[in-house]
Structure 1
């Protein structure tokens, strides 16, 4: 890794957001016009374009070879080789599974050290997640989720469906037009009728599911809005999403954890509640009254 900041660029890669794509997006406003062309070329064919030679990438971006070299320097890398090394490590991380991941917990044997180790891992994940959440993406998510002219459709993967279900249970208390689907098969009937009046909220984490990706692409073809919650390595759905929110998934066990992703969901719920204001409170009151009548049989 580069040890010093590049003049006019970002800090060294170790001090920046988790993925190369995130670093590129963070640097975008500081780049020159030609450097932005390199950035967009990489993001449009991510990460494959960044693994090409400097000559091939310069041809794709329609810039000179030295511009490509200056671009990676602006990201804080000391060389193009170092930049590509990070991309390769990222590819390995994207395909990691509980079988290949090593547990992060303290293996010293004491319960106290185990507890402290777990707490540190979760605290770090939460801190890094919220530090890297772009304000503009959060604002757009709040706007879409609180727009009652849109019908919301929430779906997750094999494990991430718990995030989708939690979000739906809370959202439907504050507004109408909210639907949860256990898997892509359940959403297919409605998906064919999607329009720009529909918003798909999809949860997709590493070892990304092919059917979930295909579903999101079909929703984009139908001109639906798309909000994606994913991990730092980014589901391919990011290519077609209107809003991309990433959360860290480190956990003490070899399984990806949802502490930070759930915190992002709770933040979205709070933001929608604030946006909807009195209408959300009135709906919650009506639901509470209806629930009481049903429970008491009155």
Structure 2
């Protein structure tokens, strides 16, 4: 989606927009391109703003109205995941023995593809190798740039505030979306070594209901929420907040709809999207949160006991 000119334009102007127009952009990018293909009224209702507010956004972007904006979306939108988009830009990807190769192609470990056509296989193998090297270099540069931006955005006061919440809470419950749940799982696995009462939010509705039933003002939910934002995470957070639980939110540059409810908001910069997904950046944030929390808890005795018990079990 980042290669789509309309989506890129929406992301670029987002920081400069007033709140109502930001809400429209969040809806558009959360469900791109489909959110743009209905009526203006439906789009405004999803964003919780008036149709005139939505119209002002498209005027600001230089379109001759919502219909022109929709036409641009239809022309440029690609309904593809970041993984699909990344793979599609690797030259010679099909020369590596994937389905659809020419008859007679085979791949030998440690060698170029060999075909019945002789040296043509060697040429295609070399082209594919060049493409893979180019793709790896591009991906590495994207990761490097994104990580630098992510780390620069994490100020000491922000990490201090987040670590205070994680250290002082009676219990900590973490959850994420389809991919960001891996960062939530990592947080809990490490945090459980530092302090008691660290849990991953369970998957089933019944188990989540039992968790919410016990939550109160001394408990904390850590949510990782990135486009496309998770409706299930939003439902759990809403129920937890209704019981008084506090929220630490890790999200992207466009901000999860949960941002307004967060006591501590960690917003990754736009560059942190990564070549395929922002998981590496989420883990980097989590690492720093764990370091800051460990500094507050001084858990040396707990970790020593944990190591000793691990040896006996």
Specify the TM-score bucket, using the shorter chain as the normaliser: 0.5 to 0.7
Write the mapping of 1:47-196 to structure 2, written as runs, cut at 5 A. Answer: 48=47, 53=52, 81-82=60-61, 98=81, 102-103=85-86, 107=91, 109=128, 110=130, 111-147=132-168, 149-183=169-203, 185=205, 186-196=207-217
TM superposition shift of 1:197: 1.1
**Is 1:290 aligned with 2:303?**
no
User: Where does structure 2 lack aligned partners over 5 or more consecutive residues?
Assistant: 1-7, 27-46, 92-126
Return the alpha-carbon distance in structure 2 between the equivalents of residues 228 and 204 of structure 1. 7
- Give the SS at the match of 1:265: helix
Q: Cα distance 1:208–1:293, how it changes in 2: closer, same or farther (>3 A)?
A: same
**Kept in 1: contact 2:82–2:277 (CA 8 A):** no
Q: Cα distance 1:49–1:82, how it changes in 2: closer, same or farther (>3 A)?
A: farther
Return the alpha-carbon distance in structure 2 between the equivalents of residues 273 and 84 of structure 1. 51
Match of 1:20 in 2: 14
Return the alpha-carbon distance in structure 2 between the equivalents of residues 269 and 100 of structure 1. 29
Within the candidate set 203, 211, 216, 2:224 is matched to 203
TM superposition shift of 1:113: 2.0
- Give the SS at the match of 2:159: helix
Match of 1:213 in 2: 234
1:238-296 Cα distance to aligned partner (Å, 9 max, x none): 121111212355333xx42411111101111111111212xx111000100111122xx
TM superposition shift of 1:194: 1.2
- Give the SS at the match of 2:258: helix
Q: Superposition RMSD on alpha carbons, in Å?
A: 3.7
- Give the SS at the match of 1:201: strand
1:106-162 Cα distance to aligned partner (Å, 9 max, x none): 647413322211110101111222233354432211110111x42111112222211
**Kept in 2: contact 1:201–1:227 (CA 8 A):** yes
**Kept in 1: contact 2:167–2:296 (CA 8 A):** yes
User: Where does structure 1 lack aligned partners over 5 or more consecutive residues?
Assistant: 1-13, 25-38, 58-78
How many pairs were matched up?
Answer: 233
TM superposition shift of 1:43: 7.3
Return the alpha-carbon distance in structure 2 between the equivalents of residues 195 and 213 of structure 1. 18
Within the candidate set 234, 241, 251, 2:274 is matched to 251
Return the alpha-carbon distance in structure 1 between the equivalents of residues 257 and 218 of structure 2. 23
Return the alpha-carbon distance in structure 2 between the equivalents of residues 201 and 292 of structure 1. 31
**Kept in 1: contact 2:146–2:281 (CA 8 A):** yes
Which of the two has higher C-alpha Rg? 2
Q: TM-score, normalised by structure 1?
A: 0.65
**Kept in 2: contact 1:249–1:258 (CA 8 A):** no
